[in-house]
């Protein structure tokens, strides 16, 4: 069986399910729980891409997937708080759940929200992806966590930096204390764009060396962009220590047998999840 473990992550197989955990965050296992789901038989989609309801059978399978991964971590799936994710730069502070006896999913209160921050215990922050970047943040000093979804549009809007700024403003976090873990996502090897998107990245990140994150293809008018590298650079510029920016180093396309990928699965694609919670 394939093992995705590397210097930064552990591939866990427990209770019949698979997920990744970051070694850095595991140092604080008495304080936080976290995981990134593996195995494409699990699907964490709770609504269609246009936000319409799923057929009940599909919805039930998604809830069962949440139950499985939460049970394995010995946390209560009903405490899930899930962003609606619309490729924005909006990050919300969460102090309590809205639904008292069920997951907070598909709620109007999380419309156009792509990141969540809390310092409250037993709130399980959840994001989902199928190639986009998911990032887990943890400040061990203030005991603050965040979970954000940053597709290429979110990266252009610097949602990762805005998350750090909000952690500073709301919880007095020091960027030098914050740990950021970057989950599996599409990488430069497969993130191919046309000229219009390439130019957007050049304009927004003109202060950076584009040679570090944009590469022209030889045979056609296409470019490959390293959105993970961009986020690493802008987070370090914001004050995070480079040793606290932990990358899984895994491409969702290269490992699409274990990780959902829109570019591989196309129509009807599934979603993986990243979750983090304070105990």
CATH number for the domain spanning 152: value is: 3.60.140.10
Residue at 166 is within a domain = yes
Number of domains in the chain: 1
Residue at 216 is within a domain = no
The mean pLDDT value for 33-62 works out to 92
Residue at 28 is within a domain = yes
Confidence of residue 71 (pLDDT cuts 50, 70, 90): very high
Residue at 93 is within a domain = yes
**pTM of this structure:** 0.97
- The first and second tokens of residue 273, run together, are 């999840």
The mean pLDDT value for 244-257 works out to 98
pLDDT tens digits, 97-131: 999 999 999 999 999 999 999 999 999 999 999 99
Average of per-residue pLDDT values in the chain? 96
pLDDT of residue 80: 98
Residue at 39 is within a domain = yes
pLDDT at 212 over 90: no
Domain span including residue 269:
9-188+247-278
Residue at 197 is within a domain = no
Residue at 201 is within a domain = no
Burial 20-32 (b: 16+ CB within 10 A, else e): bbbebbeebeeeb
Integer Cα distance of 104 and 91 in angstroms: 16
pLDDT of residue 50: 73
pLDDT of residue 53: 82
Residue at 193 is within a domain = no
Percent above pLDDT 70 for the chain: 100
What SS3 state is found at 77?
A: helix
Please state the separation of Cα 82 from the chain's center in Å.
12
CA-based nearest residue to 94, from 45, 148, 154: 148
Integer Cα distance of 148 and 170 in angstroms: 16
pLDDT tens digits, 145-177: 999 999 999 999 999 999 999 999 999 999 999
């Amino acid at each position: 069986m394939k093992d995705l473990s590397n210097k930064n992550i552990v591939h866990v197989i427990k209770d019949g399910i698979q997920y990744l955990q970051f070694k850095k965050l595991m140092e604080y296992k008495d304080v936080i729980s976290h995981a990134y789901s593996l195995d494409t038989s699990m699907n964490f989609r709770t609504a269609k891409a246009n936000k319409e309801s799923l057929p009940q059978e599909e919805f039930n399978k998604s809830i069962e997937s949440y139950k499985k991964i939460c049970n394995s971590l010995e946390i209560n799936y009903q405490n899930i708080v899930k962003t609606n994710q619309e490729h924005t730069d909006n990050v919300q502070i969460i102090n309590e759940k809205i639904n008292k006896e069920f997951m907070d999913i598909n709620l109007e209160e999380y419309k156009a929200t792509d990141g969540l921050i809390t310092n409250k215990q037993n709130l399980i922050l959840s994001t989902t992806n199928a190639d986009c970047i998911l990032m887990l943040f943890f400040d061990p000093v203030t005991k603050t966590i965040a979970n954000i979804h940053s597709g290429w549009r979110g990266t252009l809007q610097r949602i990762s930096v805005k998350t750090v700024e909000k952690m500073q403003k709301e919880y007095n976090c020091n960027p030098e204390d914050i740990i950021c873990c970057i989950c599996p996502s599409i990488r430069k090897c497969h993130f191919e764009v046309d000229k219009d998107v390439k130019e957007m990245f050049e304009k927004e990140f003109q202060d950076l060396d584009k040679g570090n994150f944009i590469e022209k293809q030889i045979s056609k008018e296409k470019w490959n962009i390293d959105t993970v590298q961009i986020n690493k650079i802008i987070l370090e510029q914001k004050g995070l220590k480079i040793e606290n920016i932990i990358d899984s180093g895994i491409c969702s396309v290269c490992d699409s047998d274990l990780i959902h990928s829109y570019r591989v699965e196309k129509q009807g694609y599934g979603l993986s999840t990243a979750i983090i919670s304070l105990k």
